[in-house]
Structure 1
Amino acid sequence: MFSDWAAPADAAAHFAHRLAVETDVADVSAALAAEDPGFVLVDTRSRAAWDSGHVPGAVHLPGREIAERAAAELDRTVPVVTYCWGPGCNGATRAALALSSLGYRVREMLGGFEYWAREGLPVETAAGVHRPDADPLTTPTAVSCGC
């Protein structure tokens, strides 16, 4: 298992590629705070999941409907960031694959809606926008990962 390490150049290429196609909740939140984040955020979950809470300003485009709706609802010149439920779900990955296959520039938001809410970031429902309490396991206040 630990006897077949990648060469440093191969590892660097791999991690550079991941950073080109993935982003995280903190970076998406910071970008959305800007006047023009430079992308559209797409929630790929079901209607019921969307209604239970979503990132304010996100576009709701369920993964199963991308082939039929993407061209009418997304501008191919604007990059897309996809998210689904959380790290245990690959719906955002499948949606990113579908969108990139249609010609969109795409990144996947790691952690999905679960980590968005767990970090205490704004959540929108029919009742309005609120901030859930931050989970101390994902958003420690006394210690930072320093990344």
Structure 2
Amino acid sequence: MSHNRTSIVVQTPGEMSYLYRIREFITGIAAEVGIDEQDILNIELAVDEACANVIEHGYEPNAPDKSLTIQMEIDDQKLVLKIIDQGKSFDPRLKPPPDIQKLITMKRDGGLGISLIKQTMDEIDYRRTPEGCNVLILTKYLQLDHNSEDRTL
């Protein structure tokens, strides 16, 4: 098996109205290299939840220069996404699973995003850089669709 690697970076304003661009970027590249459709849906969900959480909870509403940087690396075995922001520090690995019954009783929207990320991705890592950036690293091990035409990464 060859180990071709592709690295792509995209930066967008940290605004909800840009989430669709991030989704299109991720799903477009993933489909192009032959990633399984279910994996694409899982990756899209995880990235959407992670970015929405940064925008909603990491940044102050009127903060200047809110941005998200997405670094995407794909090879024959895995896809690694790094979501980088300058918002409040938050390590999602430390968040306990939500109490679903409590969320239902409270009739509360939200509260499931981090749990969904943990369920749809194979690995989650987090670090805070010395420069004050948050880096959320999401890894998905791949089953490439080898029945489709041969694609080069």
Do both proteins adopt the same fold according to a TM-score greater than 0.5, normalized to the shorter chain? no
Could you say which structure has the higher strand fraction?
2
Q: Which has the higher contact order (CA 8 A, sep 6+)?
A: 2
Query: Taking structure 1 as the reference length, what is the TM-score of the superposition?
Result: 0.28
